Amino acid sequence: EAQVTQNPRYLITVTGKKLTVTCSQNMNHEYMSWYRQDPGLGLRQIYYSMNVEVTDKGDVPEGYKVSRKEKRNFPLILESPSPNQTSLYFCASRASSTEAFFGQGTRLTVV
């Protein structure tokens, strides 16, 4: 079954404690990205990757890092989380010029 898997689904953490949200896809897609969803702001792209070792900033990259060492994995790293990063995060993958497939989401709360 084609899917994008992200973990964890829910996470509560404290300010400044580094965390990683994992994302894995089994469709051999070149393109992967991370979004955050906030009320009234829709889905905003954080970072994206067009292939292994190729990553670039999206619209709201501040406070986040990513890596793409393998085609299937695209983890999102928060080195020093802050309360304004409390949000709902989605990982997505797509082949070129096709629809994106999304993971189930990670609800992050930073206190």
Partner 1 sequence: DQQVKQNSPSLSVQEGRISILNCDYTNSMFDYFLWYKKYPAEGPTFLISISSIKDKNEDGRFTVFLNKSAKHLSLHIVPSQPGDSAVYFCAASAMDTDKLIFGTGTRLQVFP
23, 24, 31, 47: residue in contact with partner 1 (rule CB under 8 A) = 31
User: Taking CA 53 as the corner, what is the angle to CA 49 and CA 56, rounded to the nearest 5 degrees?
Assistant: 40
Neighbours of 97 (CB within 10 A): 6
Tokens of 99: 């629809």
- Residue nearer to partner 1 on the CB measure, 11 or 102: 102
Shortest separation between residue 19's beta carbon and partner 1, angstroms: 20
Residues in the chain, overall count: 111
Binding characters for partner 1, 34-53, by CB under 8 A (x = yes): -x----xxxxxx--x-x---
Ramachandran area for residue 53 (φ above 0: left; ψ -120 to 50: alpha; else beta): left
Interface with partner 1 in residues 52-81 (CB under 8 A):
58
Q: Which residues bind partner 1 (CB under 8 A)?
A: 4, 31, 33, 35, 40-45, 48, 50, 58, 90, 92, 94, 96-97, 99-105
